[in-house]
Chains A and B, each alone.
Chain A
Amino acid sequence: MHFVVCAKQIPDPETPPSAFKIDEATNTVVPAQGFQPVLSQYDGIAAEAALQIKEAQGDDAKITVLSVGAESAQAAIKQVLAMGADEGVLLQDDAFEDGDSHTTAKVLAAAISNLGDVDAVFCGRQAADWDVGQVGLLVAEALGWPVAILAKDVEISDGSMKTTRVLADGFETVSQGLPAVVTVSNEFGEPRYPKLQQIMQAAKKTVTTMTHEDLGLDPSEVGSSGARLKLEKLYIPQSDSQVEIIEGETPEEQATNLVAKLVADKVL
């Protein structure tokens, strides 16, 4: 079997608010000094799901990691390789830049078709930078494959994929024929810590790079030219908070004063 994990490299979500800056003139995020981009956390979980299935099958299933991104995204690919994935392909091209979920999915789908024998695609539930949560669905759409989103459990057997999905009010188990796409949610569990031997093997592996030509894509349908989403304005919302200490001798008195205050302010 051949599985694909889609891994996105994102600006570190743990960048402290004070270091997070936006250039409002160009509507772009100014890379925070001293903060390296990281693998989107949900993609580590997606990789974990694929690895567990590979291990459960015990056969020579193969896992390929795909990432659309800049040269630096090699690090994200290597991280998944260190976890135990077999091959990595970086989809890197100026033409892919400044796309949206739709164009990213188009590139990924082209790469998956290019691989040929893929049985299942594992995406994260959403990329932890923009939190859009569309790419997995759009990849399935582009490939014409079934998709299950927000999976907390995934099993693959007898040519079908069974997933347990996290819904607002419970869980839902669905089965779909292969090939299929799944987006994996954080309820699945934590990604593994790579063994040193694997880290070093991963460091030695070469990551293939592919461009629009390799994938047979027209530059006009990908990246900024193909994007349907137009970014109007990017800004950090102002938030203000005021603290008022409610006086009172006893907790009861404080509570009474608080209620009076809330009523006066028309909160209650």
Chain B
Amino acid sequence: MVANSSTQNNRLQSQLIGKWWMPAIALSLGGLYLAMQFSATEGAGRESFFNVAHPWSVYVFMSSLVGLLVYGLVRHATLWRLGKDTPESVFANLPHRFKNVFRLGVAQDKVRRDRYAAVMHWSISSSIVVLTLVTAQVAIQDDTPLNFLHGSYYLFFSFYGDLFGLIGLIGVGMAMWRRYFIDFSRIRWDERPEDHLIIVGLGLVLLSGFFVEAFRIEVTELTQHPDWAKWSFVSYVLANLFEIFSMSDNQILWSHSAMWWTHVVLAFSWLALIVFTRLDHLFFAPINAFLLRTDSPGRLSTIPNIEEQEIFGVGYVQDFSWKQLFELDACVRCGRCTDVCPANLAGQPLSPMHLIQDLKGHLASVGPSIQKVGNEGGDTRSVSPISMVGEVIQDETLWACRTCGACVQECPVMIEHVPTIVDMRRFLVMDEARLPQTAQAALQNIEMRGHPWSGTALERTTWMDGLGDVPIFDGTQDYLYWVGCSGSLVERNLPVTKAVFRLLQESGSSFGVLGQEETCNGDPARRLGNEYLYQILAEQLIGTFKEKNVQKVITNCPHCFNTFKNEYPQFDGHFEVLHHTEFLNSQLQSGALKVQHELPDTVTYHDSCYLGRINGVYDAPRQILNFIPGTNIQEMERNMSKGLCCGAGGGNMWQEEVGERRVNHVRSEEAIATGANKVVSNCPFCIQMFEDGVPAMQPDEVGRIEPFDVAEILELAVFGEQDSSIEEKTEI
């Protein structure tokens, strides 16, 4: 089978970008090699603080900077300390955490998801790091007995100092281009004066550095050691340019000294911005990479001993964990999260960036008083004059979130918006009982009837009609086929359930279903913020699974999949969980299932958030489609980890949307734009959203794109059109 080409392209590109640091290393090694070749330059070197009257003053600057950094840290830390302990230890799984620091902090994996920013940001950050090292070497050379800045190494040192200075300037240029010359909106959604200060300031620091060097070279190397001077290739060019002005040696020395002081003052002032501006991400980003959860992003934290708690969720800033407060300070206002947020794309009242910034502002404004009142033993909950949930962050903002994880995926400083949002929902639901009527109806339905589909006329066994003997799981079969509420109680999804069932049967797998004994696994309750209800349901179902000796589960629905796989282990429910696309793909690969029919179709594949981005299953469903002769995949603009939510996640299946557009309209439009005749997904919610969104965007029935589950398509390819459950869909 030939892998789909656009998917492959994507892979290749991301792999190539993954190797962005290769040229840098190659260049540096090349430079070192060349320097080694110049044995004639053994004597190369220079006086460290050439022409500088009071070099010790650098150390005054230095200590003030350190003082400032410590002050800044303490100021921040007192606010973070208002937070509670993190639900899970931040020191568990250390190797993974250090890997994250390297991969996400140092190698900037997330930054690279925007290619332009990848080059720009790497240029700037590597130049800052390398030039700091360059400066440190000068200091070591000057103030310690170590003597290494001479000979080949000195030349190499001059070379890479200039190289990274130049790289830094290129980065600054790219940043200014984006900020001042093109219409690049996301960085301007919350632009502040400090943003100009940082970028222009850095440009000036780098330029002044080159000027200092150029003036020095002009006096000490240009005529005396032109072969040394060339190694500082940027300053060498500059120095030659200065020759035009034919300044006297004294003038040059004066300019050098003036420039040196300017450079030092600029450089230290710029570094001081770390304390006062978002430049603090220099430290906070790698630290937050360390603090990032090491388990699945699909797992929400539990509230232990919930029955004994008095506070549920987060309604006050001091209810967040210190890590959640720390994160607020790490945000750099890059807008990436909001840029990919489905709610924001549909003009709904949620922007994850503004949410984080609003919380940060709130913490800064009320934090100090809360701390003071707390120290005096007062009631910290009455300190804030406005309520955090409701006023600082509006209810409708919290309800608009799909928990799709796109924001978390993109955030270059590893902020986890979803747990923060759900924590506030928990407060709304469990503490305040303030929730949209439709969400309330879904929750009450789960409480009363064990499923969220209020008003359904179907039974959990209706889908079995006409399928003959459906084996009930009794502990002797290998797999439990978990149909789920949507797979059995929503008419549109019955053909999907039937298809999966028939394919499992055809593959000769040993499996059974629970039928009437299935109940909601709690996912909608948890995502809507009712952790209490979730825990009751989860414990109950885990009990049932254990009692029936369930070991392996195949699910229809990515939400059930995620809950069983990532969340049940929190309640000691450990099962091997597969989504039907994973299992069916394995059956095709092993030959247990055989495709018998050609399907001449162009399909577009929609990654559901909870199978794709959150659980990383991108290939299995695509491989199934690639197995089918005649079927070819036309990817949507946003796919795989960048896929856009269908709009239903996070309990939004049961909510009225507020805002300009509906998310499923946006996503349907994207599917239609591929020109495919089918949009294929793997999730009952996605399919329902497309069934609703497509007709709205494509009113003409002729040539309309049709939504299907992967299993439905595979059923067609295995059994043929005459003999498929898909027919029933048109009857509905």
Asked whether B516 lies within 8 Å of A33 as measured between CB atoms, the reply is yes
- Which residues does chain A contribute within 8 Å of B431, judged by CB atoms? 195-197
Cα A14 to Cα B444 with chains together (Å): 13
Asked whether B307 lies within 8 Å of A14 as measured between CB atoms, the reply is no
The residue on A at minimum CB distance from B458 is: A16
Cα A35 to Cα B431 with chains together (Å): 29
- Which residues does chain A contribute within 8 Å of B532, judged by CB atoms? 196, 199
The residue on A at minimum CB distance from B435 is: A193
Partner of A196, one of B430, B444, B455, B456: B430
B312 at the interface (CB under 8 A from A): yes
Asked whether A14 lies within 8 Å of B455 as measured between CB atoms, the reply is yes
Asked whether A12 lies within 8 Å of B448 as measured between CB atoms, the reply is yes
Cα A200 to Cα B308 with chains together (Å): 9
| Chain B 426-450 near chain A by CB (<8 Å), digits 1 or 0 | 0001111101010010011000110
B194 at the interface (CB under 8 A from A): no
Asked whether B459 lies within 8 Å of A18 as measured between CB atoms, the reply is yes
B323 at the interface (CB under 8 A from A): no
Which residues of B in the span 620-660 have a Cβ within 8 Å of any Cβ on A? none
Which residues of B in the span 446-497 have a Cβ within 8 Å of any Cβ on A? 448-449, 454-460, 462
- Which residues does chain A contribute within 8 Å of B435, judged by CB atoms? 193
Asked whether A193 lies within 8 Å of B460 as measured between CB atoms, the reply is no
Asked whether B432 lies within 8 Å of A195 as measured between CB atoms, the reply is yes
- Which residues does chain B contribute within 8 Å of A200, judged by CB atoms? 307
Which residues of A in the span 30-53 have a Cβ within 8 Å of any Cβ on B? 33-36, 38
- Which residues does chain B contribute within 8 Å of A12, judged by CB atoms? 448-449
- Which residues does chain A contribute within 8 Å of B448, judged by CB atoms? 12, 36, 38
B391 at the interface (CB under 8 A from A): no
Cα A200 to Cα B435 with chains together (Å): 19
Partner of A16, one of B310, B432, B459: B459
Partner of A197, one of B310, B449, B454: B310
Interface centre among A14, A16, A33, A193 (most CB of B within 10 A): A193
A117 at the interface (CB under 8 A from B): no
Partner of A195, one of B433, B455, B458: B433
Asked whether A195 lies within 8 Å of B430 as measured between CB atoms, the reply is yes
Instruction: Give the size category of B's interface with A.
Output: 20 to 34
Known: A12-B448, A193-B443. A34 touches B516 (CB 8 A): yes
Inter-chain contact count A-B, CB under 8 Å?
A: 48
Interface centre among B448, B458, B516 (most CB of A within 10 A): B448
- Which residues does chain B contribute within 8 Å of A190, judged by CB atoms? 437, 440
- Which residues does chain A contribute within 8 Å of B456, judged by CB atoms? 14, 16
Say how far A179's CB is from chain B's closest CB, in angstroms: 30
The residue on B at minimum CB distance from A189 is: B437
Asked whether B449 lies within 8 Å of A14 as measured between CB atoms, the reply is yes
A19 at the interface (CB under 8 A from B): yes
- Which residues does chain B contribute within 8 Å of A34, judged by CB atoms? 460, 516
- Which residues does chain B contribute within 8 Å of A193, judged by CB atoms? 429, 433, 435, 440, 443-444
| Chain A 167-206 near chain B by CB (<8 Å), digits 1 or 0 | 0000000000000000000000010111111011000000
Partner of B433, one of A14, A17, A35, A192: A192
- Which residues does chain B contribute within 8 Å of A192, judged by CB atoms? 433
Known: A192-B433, A193-B433. A19 touches B459 (CB 8 A): yes
- Which residues does chain B contribute within 8 Å of A38, judged by CB atoms? 448
Say how far A176's CB is from chain B's closest CB, in angstroms: 31
Say how far B63's CB is from chain A's closest CB, in angstroms: 53
Say how far A39's CB is from chain B's closest CB, in angstroms: 8
The residue on A at minimum CB distance from B306 is: A196
Asked whether A17 lies within 8 Å of B449 as measured between CB atoms, the reply is no
Main secondary structure of the interface of B (DSSP, over half): helix
Asked whether B457 lies within 8 Å of A17 as measured between CB atoms, the reply is yes
- Which residues does chain B contribute within 8 Å of A17, judged by CB atoms? 457
- Which residues does chain A contribute within 8 Å of B310, judged by CB atoms? 197
| Chain B 403-436 near chain A by CB (<8 Å), digits 1 or 0 | 0000000000000000000000000011111010
The residue on B at minimum CB distance from A33 is: B516
The residue on A at minimum CB distance from B516 is: A34
Asked whether A14 lies within 8 Å of B454 as measured between CB atoms, the reply is yes
- Which residues does chain A contribute within 8 Å of B443, judged by CB atoms? 193
The residue on A at minimum CB distance from B457 is: A16
- Which residues does chain A contribute within 8 Å of B454, judged by CB atoms? 14
Say how far A74's CB is from chain B's closest CB, in angstroms: 15
Cα A38 to Cα B446 with chains together (Å): 12
Say how far A222's CB is from chain B's closest CB, in angstroms: 29
The residue on A at minimum CB distance from B460 is: A34
Cα A34 to Cα B456 with chains together (Å): 14
- Which residues does chain A contribute within 8 Å of B455, judged by CB atoms? 14
Cα A127 to Cα B715 with chains together (Å): 47
Cα A84 to Cα B516 with chains together (Å): 34
Cα A192 to Cα B437 with chains together (Å): 9
- Which residues does chain A contribute within 8 Å of B460, judged by CB atoms? 34
Asked whether B437 lies within 8 Å of A18 as measured between CB atoms, the reply is no
- Which residues does chain A contribute within 8 Å of B459, judged by CB atoms? 16, 18-19
| Chain B 193-205 near chain A by CB (<8 Å), digits 1 or 0 | 0000000000000
Asked whether A18 lies within 8 Å of B430 as measured between CB atoms, the reply is no
- Which residues does chain A contribute within 8 Å of B516, judged by CB atoms? 33-34
Cα A262 to Cα B676 with chains together (Å): 43
Cα A194 to Cα B448 with chains together (Å): 14
Say how far A236's CB is from chain B's closest CB, in angstroms: 15
Which residues of B in the span 1-48 have a Cβ within 8 Å of any Cβ on A? none
Say how far A244's CB is from chain B's closest CB, in angstroms: 17
- Which residues does chain A contribute within 8 Å of B457, judged by CB atoms? 16-18
- Which residues does chain A contribute within 8 Å of B429, judged by CB atoms? 193, 196
Cα A200 to Cα B430 with chains together (Å): 11
Cα A19 to Cα B454 with chains together (Å): 16
Cα A195 to Cα B429 with chains together (Å): 7
| Chain A 4-41 near chain B by CB (<8 Å), digits 1 or 0 | 00000000101011110000000000000111101000
Say how far B429's CB is from chain A's closest CB, in angstroms: 8
Known: A190-B437, A193-B443, A200-B307. A35 touches B449 (CB 8 A): yes
Cα A155 to Cα B118 with chains together (Å): 65
Say how far B164's CB is from chain A's closest CB, in angstroms: 56
- Which residues does chain A contribute within 8 Å of B440, judged by CB atoms? 190, 193
Cα A197 to Cα B431 with chains together (Å): 7
Cα A33 to Cα B516 with chains together (Å): 9
| Chain B 299-335 near chain A by CB (<8 Å), digits 1 or 0 | 0000000010010100000000000000000000000
Cα A190 to Cα B431 with chains together (Å): 19
Say how far A184's CB is from chain B's closest CB, in angstroms: 18
- Which residues does chain B contribute within 8 Å of A199, judged by CB atoms? 532
Cα A169 to Cα B432 with chains together (Å): 38
Which residues of A in the span 188-231 have a Cβ within 8 Å of any Cβ on B? 190, 192-197, 199-200
Cα A195 to Cα B456 with chains together (Å): 27
Cα A231 to Cα B438 with chains together (Å): 38
Asked whether B449 lies within 8 Å of A194 as measured between CB atoms, the reply is no
Cα A190 to Cα B438 with chains together (Å): 11
The residue on B at minimum CB distance from A44 is: B444
Cα A192 to Cα B443 with chains together (Å): 12
Say how far A230's CB is from chain B's closest CB, in angstroms: 32
Asked whether B312 lies within 8 Å of A196 as measured between CB atoms, the reply is yes
Say how far B435's CB is from chain A's closest CB, in angstroms: 6
The residue on B at minimum CB distance from A204 is: B307
Say how far B651's CB is from chain A's closest CB, in angstroms: 14
Cα A190 to Cα B434 with chains together (Å): 13
Say how far A15's CB is from chain B's closest CB, in angstroms: 9
Q: Kindly list 18 other residue pairs between chains A and B, CB separation below 8 angstroms, not including A35-B449, A36-B449, A197-B310.
A: A12-B448, A12-B449, A14-B454, A16-B457, A16-B459, A18-B457, A19-B459, A33-B516, A36-B448, A192-B433, A193-B429, A193-B433, A193-B435, A193-B440, A193-B444, A195-B431, A196-B431, A196-B532
20 A-B residue pairings within 8 Å (CB atoms): A12-B449, A14-B454, A16-B456, A16-B457, A16-B462, A18-B457, A18-B462, A35-B449, A36-B448, A193-B429, A193-B433, A193-B435, A193-B444, A194-B433, A195-B430, A195-B431, A195-B433, A196-B429, A196-B431, A197-B431
Which 6 pairs of residues, A with B, have the shortest CB-CB distance? A196-B430, A195-B433, A193-B433, A193-B440, A16-B457, A38-B448
